[in-house]
Amino acid sequence: MVHKMEKNGIEVAIIGIAGKYPQADNIQDFFDNLKHGKECLTTFTDEELQESDPWYSQDANYVKRAGIINNATGFDNKFFNISNRDALLTDPQQRIFLQTAWHALEDAGCDPFTYQGDIALYGGSSSNTYLSHHIFHSDYRHEMNQYPVILGNEKDFLCTRVSHALNLRGPAMTVQTGCSTSLVAVHMACQSLLNGECDIAMAGGITIRFPVKAGYKYQDGGILSPDGHCRPFDQDACGTVVSDGCGIVVLKLLEDALRDRDQIYCVIKGSAINNDGQDKMGFTSPSISGQSRVIEDALSLSGLDASQISYVETHGTGTKLGDPIEINALRDIYTGHQGQKVKLGSVKANIGHTDTASGITGLIKVALMMKHHTLLPQIHFNQPNPLLELDNSSLEVNTQLADWHDDAAIRYAAVSSFGLGGTNAHMIVESGDIYQQSSSHVPAEPQHILLSGRTAQDLIRNSQQIAAATHHYTDQDLADVAYTLAAGRHHFPYRHWMEATNIAEVRRNLAALTESAVYQPSGICRIKIYQTQEMTLSETFINSAHYFNFTELSEKHRFWAELCEQMVIEPLEVEMFYTNELIDKVMIHAYNADNKKVAETDSEISYLSNNDVFNMLCWLWQQGLTIRWQKFYATQSVRKVSLPGYAFDQTVFEIEPTITNGSDALTGSADTELPATDNTAITLESIQDKIRQLWLDDLGEAIPCAATTDIYELCGDSFTALQMNVELEDFYEISLSNKTFIENNTLNKLSEVIYNLKHIGEHSTLDEHIVCFNDQGNLAPVFLIHPAGGTVMGCKELARRLPEGHPVYGIQYPFRDEGNDIVSMCDLARHYNEKITALYPTGNLILAGHSFGGNAALEMALQFEQAGRTIEQVIMFDSHPPQAYFSNTVFSEQQFLASFPVICGMFFNTKEPLNDMKSDTLEDVVDYLKQKGWVPWGFSTEEFKLYYELWRSNHNTLRTHMPSEKLKADLLFFKAEVFQPQEILDVLNISLVEGTEIAQWQCFAQSTIKEFVVPGTHYTMLDKENVDVIADILHELLTVTVAA
């Protein structure tokens, strides 16, 4: 049957939904609860309330009921690369909203990290009671005005946190209109799409109250129910019940959704928002005229007649004042269709009032009803409230579960949400099934099911969830399921794939999957293909392989190589080998960057088929490569379907309130910690306890082993390590250099240093500026020279991986030494050579340095050689040649500050300039970096200035130095794989063209420079994941030198 569709040109499709509600961790459970007429509220025991709710009393007006979500404080922070401490200090509303946003995008079949368009997000949250009840009444209350708490708890950052975590580049706006917040957010998201501001828009809302296990105090005349039940439109209606919940929808213009083969829950035909103004009894009262106007506006925009609406999901709070006003507004507009009454419902009867999430919850309910062709029953409705006069209207409350099939085939519904304070929202919705038909045939060929996870355990949990979900699908849906998993999901490192011919086979295979079958990609970059030179490509295959451009295929036997070129996104070197010994068989060997064979496969092939190709692509995908799955499926009759979201590995992050007396919390007098000045009370044990406390407070991490755990490594970055250093200095009123912090890198060592400083006053026999990484060995010592920042903190992993037998030291800038006379690179080299000579008066040396450190190492080597000392090697890590800097002029402070947005953007790995950074003064820069969370909140401007001035001084040193001799020693040059962005070079006035570095350095070396490429950028090449490449090369080179 062909149905008439009345398009108005502003249709917006709902293509993805995710939610978390009382007794429902996902929207399928939510729909099942509504379908079975379940009330999902919790009744708390006296014991639970006495333990958790400070306002609990045995007063008869205290109601022991509420709607609560499961695991409200659970969060998979590692999935989103958020530290334990930040997770702990962040409002669970932000955390759950972030996880739900990811699930919503998954349900929409959209990977935000590969999607080419802009994705917007509009949403709102309820009052932050985690801050007021938990953080404020705990030891963390002293940090209330610090950035981690501000960023984690202000409503302003609800949406921007998600956009940052998920790479959403469209508008990100927090919406706050009280109870109507989330439906207003949907309206704004639709407008953003229609205005061309984004390609996909997300919208939603969240409410989570703390303490979680808490009821409420009933007040006569208020909106809350005296008995903990919500009965919209019933004669016994007397209020609603507080509840938690979160819902998000993903939206796309209808035409775009049809083009992209998205699933369509339903279509928004039009929406409107307004405010009551003064046309009501009071600020918090509802208004008939305000609600009527917003309904009429939405209908007008939709282009529909009110008689076409067959269902209205009402605001329906079940209050004596609100219900009659809402029904009066509806009655005059919705008159029914062909003698049939308009059905009414309110989800608040099932789950209570989710506050800012209530509007989106009503919309999600309607979307699910339309998808499943089901009218859901209204519970707690026995006799209508006589004030509503429903008997004399075209409206009726739907009390029975029923199929939803209108005579017109296209079903229309409306959703209302009204905010305390008068902001109203109304939305007209159309069924989406008319726009897309379900598949009616079983796929002839096996389908390929792709699964992935951040860890092997996550993959298993994901597979178990999908196995359970297959009960909702038939064999006709199998191709859609396979397409969704291939083209509609983010592909994580751990991977597994399987073939299946029916849904039951998928279910069996997934249920039997174990961690031993999960594959962790080894990072291939080259494959060798062994095959017979005679390959049969039948006309049937050629005509069906629409994903392959045969015009690019010069010779048939090169099909596999050309397939990789066309279907694999990453650069992949393919070598073809032909043999007559492997008739009808193709063998493939895969190699990593170290040229090690890490995987292989073979396939019996007589006549090539699309299934053979799919198997090959799946195998390459399993090795970690990215496949153009959309291209493969381009001509197939498939569409995206709803599948379970990622099975997050959640940890509970909850600050327990420890202070119940409000005056203590305000004055901070209960447990304010003062510096430790009584030396007699300072023991090794007390120092260890203090360090453990700092690590737990600042990082949310425990120190596993006092003797072996590298506490510097736990910090994660240099700024955090420096922050820990500063806190220990302040508390113990000592001077604790970062050299000491690096060398004494376990709990036992560091506590002993602090103990000696407090009781003896000394802790080191080495020069303050020489860091000892390893003093064992009889081979030439290696000295790692600091980069422009002055410290060797970033060299620690490299130092650890250098070959055994070589003592390893770091040279740090004497920035606290007011007496040094360093004004040039020659001065710097002379100063450092004196330090090295005092430690090693004779013998061969190896000098190395990253960036600026490489330039310094060269000048030091030249001076040593001039003095007759042998330098075995000079090792540079992406150091820019002197010609790139040399100008005999220095940068002013303002020039340096002006360059900071670009420099910090690269250093902190945002991959783009920080155009919103104010850089007129150094204080502006520090405040910005703290606000972003990139510099620890306790890191003072004065401390930062020390490092800034040092960086500036060293950079200017480069601009006035040119080596005067040629180096006799071997020069090894490790080059970052990613060249410095031109924007960085421009702002720092560095004249460097990619590929010319070695030629320029060769001017200062007598022997031919050996060059090696290292993964990463100029700033990340010494990170832990990249150092392995450097270490392998140095192990080979330095071993050869010793043997010679």
In a domain, 647, yes or no: no
**Per-residue pLDDT tens for 202-253?**
999 999 999 999 999 998 888 999 999 999 999 999 999 999 999 999 999 9
| Secondary structure of residue 1004 in the 3-state scheme | helix
Indicate if 783 and 796 belong to the same structural domain: yes
Domain boundary pick from 582, 608, 632:
632
pLDDT value of residue 729: 74
Q: Determine, yes or no, domain membership for 410.
A: yes
Q: What is the pLDDT at residue 217?
A: 93
- In this prediction, residue 140 carries a pLDDT of 81
Angle at 1034 between CA 1032 and CA 1039, to 5 degrees: 105
Alpha helices by DSSP H, 53-169: 84-89, 92-107, 129, 147-153, 158-166
Q: What local confidence, expressed as pLDDT, does residue 819 receive?
A: 45
Residue predicted with more confidence, 973 or 6: 973
Mapping DSSP onto H, E and C, the string for 470-484 reads HHHCCHHHHHHHHHH
Neighbours of 1040 (CB within 10 A): 9
**Angle, vertex CA 445, rays to CA 444 and CA 449, nearest 5:** 125
pLDDT score for 618: 94
Does residue 658 belong to any structural domain of this protein? no
* Max mean pLDDT range (637-646, 790-799, 927-936, 1023-1032): 637-646
Q: Which of 240-244, 553-557, 943-947 has the highest mean pLDDT?
A: 240-244
- What CATH number is attached to the domain comprising 990? 3.40.50.1820
The answer to whether residues 358 and 252 belong to one domain is: yes
Asked whether residue 381 falls in the same domain as residue 515, the answer is: no
972 close to 1007: Cβ distance less than 8 angstroms = no
| pLDDT score of 718 more than 70 | no
Q: What is the DSSP string of 579-630?
A: -SSSTTEEEEEEEETTS-EEEEEEEE-SS--HHHHHHHHHHHHHTT--B-HH
Mean per-residue pLDDT, 627-637: 92
Span 28-54, average pLDDT: 96
Highest mean pLDDT out of 326-340, 386-400, 749-763, 981-995: 386-400
Q: What is the pLDDT of residue 668?
A: 36
As a whole number, mean pLDDT of residues 183-192 equals 98
Report which of residues 146 and 1003 the model is more confident about: 1003
Instruction: State pLDDT tens for residues 950-988.
Output: 777 888 888 888 998 999 999 999 999 988 887 778 777
The C-alpha angle 628, 629, 634, rounded to 5 degrees, equals 105
Tell me, yes or no, whether 277 and 365 share the same domain.
yes
The one-character DSSP state at 24 is B
918 and 992 share a domain? no
What type of residue is 494? Answer: Y
Q: How far apart are the first and last CA of the chain?
A: 86
- 218 in a domain, yes or no? yes
Task: Please state the rounded mean pLDDT for residues 569-596.
Answer: 82
Residue range(s) defining the domain that contains residue 991: 766-885+964-1044
Q: Tell me: do 943 and 1044 sit in the same domain.
A: no
Kindly tell me the burial class for residue 433, based on how many C-beta atoms sit within 10 Å of its own C-beta (0-12, 13-18, 19 or more). Answer: middle
CATH (domain of 713): 1.10.1200.10
- The pLDDT tens digits of the residues spanning 90-102 come to 999 999 999 999 9
Q: Report CA-CA distances (Å) from 458 to 102, 231, 350.
A: 15, 41, 32
Q: How far are the Cα atoms of 370, 490, 615, 882, 994 from residue 980, in angstroms, in the given order?
A: 53, 29, 39, 16, 8
The verdict on residue 945 lying in a domain is: yes
Q: For 962, phi and psi rounded to 5 degrees?
A: -140, 120
At which of 435, 458, 484 does a domain end?
Answer: 435
E strand or H helix at 894: helix 893-907
User: Do 812 and 686 fall into the same domain?
Assistant: no
Predicted pLDDT of residue 903: 66
Q: What is the mean pLDDT of residues 160-189?
A: 96
What is the domain count for the chain? 5
Residue 84 structure tokens: 């334990």
d(CA 6, CA 308): 11
pLDDT score for 332: 86
| pLDDT recorded at residue 934 | 59
Residue-wise pLDDT for 135-149, tens only, equals 888 888 877 777 778
Instruction: Tell me: pLDDT of 691 over 90.
Output: no
Under DSSP, the state recorded for 967 is B
Q: Which helix (H) or strand (E) holds 798?
A: helix 796-801
Query: Same structural domain for residues 106 and 235?
Result: yes
Residue 684 lies in a domain: yes
Question: Which has the higher per-residue pLDDT, 509 or 582?
Answer: 509
Position 553 in a domain? yes
Of 273-277, 725-729, 826-830, 974-978, the least confident:
725-729
Residues of the chain with pLDDT > 70: what percent?
85
For residue 791, the model assigns a pLDDT of 82
pLDDT digits (tens, 9 = 90+) for 438-475: 665 667 789 999 999 999 999 999 999 999 999 889 99
Instruction: Indicate whether 1034 pLDDT > 80.
Output: yes
* Domain CATH for 183: 3.40.47.10
Residues 901, 904, 906, 909, CA torsion sign: negative
- A 10 A CB-CB count for 957 gives 23
Q: Is the pLDDT of residue 763 over 70?
A: no
Task: Tell whether 709 is covered by a domain.
Answer: yes
Q: Give the residue from 888, 855, 901 showing the smallest Cα distance to 1004.
A: 855
Residues 175 and 229 reside in one and the same domain: yes
- Among 923, 957, 991, the domain-final residue is 957
Residues 164 and 240 in one domain: yes
Q: Taking each helix axis from N to C terminus, what angle separates 893-907 and 941-959, rounded to the nearest 10 degrees?
A: 100
Average pLDDT for 857-864:
96
The 10s digit of each residue's pLDDT in 698-716 is: 555 666 676 666 665 555 4
> Same domain, yes or no, for 452 and 518?
yes
Question: Domain check: are 208 and 306 in the same one?
Answer: yes
Mean pLDDT for the chain overall: 86
Q: How many CA atoms lie within 13 A of 466 on its CB side?
A: 32
Query: What is the share, in percent, of the chain residues with pLDDT greater than 90?
Result: 55
